[in-house]
Amino acid sequence: MKWEKNLKSIIEENAPGNCHVCNSINTDYSMHIIDDKTNMGYGVIWCNDCKNAFHISRIKVSPNMKNIPVPEGLKY
């Protein structure tokens, strides 16, 4: 998984870090809780410059994680 470092960075530092494709720091992420009891949900990490994105199908979402609108036109 190429976005593994970015996911690790979100979990540890609440920021995705550099894009692994174009090395831009202009990256972002959003997490959506599906099950309130377990805080399990899904997430998306993306780069605002090259529009590459990664869908996380299953993740335990922490309360401090962002839940913001995901931009259109991302390349998964």
Residues of this chain that bind Zn ion (CB under 5 A): 19, 21-22, 24, 47, 49-50
Nearer to Zn ion, 31 or 52 (CB): 52
Q: How far is the CB of 31 from Zn ion (least distance, A)?
A: 20
CB-nearer residue toward Zn ion: 24 or 62: 24
- Report in angstroms the alpha-carbon separations of 1 from 20, 34, 37, 55, 56: 11, 23, 28, 11, 10
Query: In the complex with Zn ion, which residue's Cβ is closer, 18 or 39?
Result: 18
